[in-house]
Amino acid sequence: MIWNEEYETMPREALESIQLKRLQQVVTRVYQNVEPYRKKMDEAGIKPEDIRELRDIEKLPFTVKDDLRDNYPFGMFAVGLEKVVRVHASSGTTGKPTVVGYTKKDIETWAELMARTLAAAGVNSGDVVHNAYGYGLFTGGLGFHYGAERLGATVIPISGGNTKRQIMIMRDFGSTVLTCTPSYALNIAEVLYDSGIDPKDLNLKVGIFGAEPWSPKMREEIEKKLGIDAVDIYGLSEIIGPGVSVECVEKKEGLHVFEDHFIPEIIDPETGEVLPYGEKGELVFTTLTKEAFPVIRYRTRDITRLIAEPCICGRTFYRMEKVSGRSDDMLIIRGVNVFPSQIEHVLMSVEGVEPHYQIIVDRQGALDMMEVQVEVSEEIFSDEIKVLEGLAKRIEQDLKETLAVSCKVKLVEPRTIQRSEGKAKRVIDKRKI
């Protein structure tokens, strides 16, 4: 179902004229109200009047996470706190969190975008949404909550954790929609099987999973184990939270970006150049309508490409391909660039290997060492040592072929790698400590 036909199926030309008008407005607003933006634009010799066509966006300076840190906590808000009705924050890997703010109207916009998101996944007012994203400073819980209410669905604000109780509630309340991270969905599936409950006894029909990268193979696993459609949702606190882009359940291929509110660009992460249409690179977003915390050309570090091809669902918004990794997630192992997503891809193509793994990086003397710990199924684990060793060797070879660097593979007993209740921690890099 399409929640907002008028905007979501708007002809491109009309959409682009709205985008230009809104871009001019937001650039003027940040220039007038947010000192760090004014300073950067003055340094670059750009005035709001220089934005005459959409392509002029390329003249504007980028915004990066450090800009937000340097102006912690509220220094990049474009309105006074008396207009801010909510703050959220995302915990970075280092130091202080990134703080974002919303006016009353921003909360309205967000609820609208999340209603569109849920509708794209096939949710309607008769559905019971089991919302297991974390409630709190994280944007996931409350983002979905407001969207589900706007749509008129019944929302269960369960938040993350206490998986057994989640399952009881899911069964007793007849939840039809599951919203959580993909790693937590797998965790729930596992506990479900342990409790001897057949997923068919539940009412679940669809899950909307995001907030972390997950491979197409992981989707297959979740869909099979829970007997549902699994749809990908993308977003980040700096832009609004969840509700930046989502797959439609009709196609499940590429996430429609809500382009009437956000302009996406793809740049070369090394040079900052905008890449020609269709190329893979770093995703950059400009918000067009946000009042409290507008952002101009924010570098997400997420790697993807844009798809302009029309979609069977009827939405005219461009799609972004499933995020394949982050430019700053890249590990450098003995000089070779390695992405965790490449490792996941290799692991998931091996029979008997479970989707639970962890990558441990350490340094021995001057040499980087990488160990991939991965769970195998009960059957494999109870096999002879020789069989296990053979399998580990095979995965080591496959990884070496893909990554061009060698690593050690350790097959571990089922259920030994810590399960996630929110975003999974895949990499432990001991070199930095």
Contacts with ligand DLL: how many residues (CB under 6 A)? 20
What's the farthest any 2 CA atoms get from each other in the chain? 72
- d(C-alpha 91, C-alpha 297), whole Å: 21
CA distance 46 to 42: 6
Non-local CB neighbours of 152 within 8 Å, separated by 6+ positions: 124, 125
Q: Provide the mask over 86-105, with x wherever binding to ligand DLL is found by CB under 6 A and - wherever it is not.
A: ----x---------------
Binding segment (CB under 6 A) for ligand DLL, from list 187-195, 208-216, 400-408, 409-417: 208-216
Would you list the DSSP string of 277-302?
A: TT--EEEEEEESS-SSS--SSEEEEE
Residue whose tokens read 């999974």: 424
In the complex with ligand DLL, which residue's Cβ is closer, 48 or 235? 235
- Using the minimum distance from each CB to ligand DLL, give the nearer residue, 321 or 398: 321
If one asks whether residue 133 binds ligand DLL (CB under 6 A), the answer comes out as yes
Q: Given the structure tokens 């010799």, which residue do they identify? A: 45
Identity of the residue, 95 or 335, whose beta carbon is nearer to ligand DLL in the bound complex: 95
Is residue 234 within the footprint of ligand DLL (CB under 6 A)?
yes
Quote the CA–CA distance of 307 and 143 in Å, as a whole number: 26
- Does the footprint of ligand DLL cover residue 186 (CB under 6 A)? no
Which part of the chain contacts ligand DLL (CB under 6 A), choosing from 151-159, 231-239, 264-272, 344-352?
Answer: 231-239
Our finding on whether 233 is near ligand DLL (CB under 6 A) is yes
Q: Residue type at 230?
A: A
Cα angle, residue 215 at apex, residues 113 and 118 outer, rounded to 5°: 20
Q: Please tell me whether residue 110 binds ligand DLL under the rule CB under 6 A.
A: no
Residue choice 300, 341, 358, 420 for contact with ligand DLL (CB under 6 A): 300
Q: Retrieve residue 55's tokens.
A: 């392509």
Which residue, 10 or 236, has its beta carbon nearer to ligand DLL?
236
Instruction: From 72-80, 103-111, 235-243, 393-401, give the range in contact with ligand DLL by CB under 6 A.
Output: 235-243
Q: x/- site string to ligand DLL, residues 392 to 411, per CB under 6 A?
A: --------------------
One of 205, 219, 326, 426 touching ligand DLL (CB under 6 A): 326
210 binding ligand DLL? (CB under 6 A): yes
Instruction: Give the ranges where 137-270 is alpha helix by DSSP (H).
Output: 139-151, 163-173, 182-194, 216-226
> What separation in angstroms does the CA of 260 have from each of 22, 23, 225, 296?
9, 10, 36, 15
Q: How far is the CB of 93 from ligand DLL (least distance, A)?
A: 11
> Cα(131)–Cα(207) distance, rounded to whole angstroms?
10
**If you search the block for the tokens 């893909």, which residue do you land on?**
402
Contact positions vs ligand DLL (CB under 6 A): 90, 133, 139-140, 210-213, 232-237, 241-242, 300, 302, 323, 326
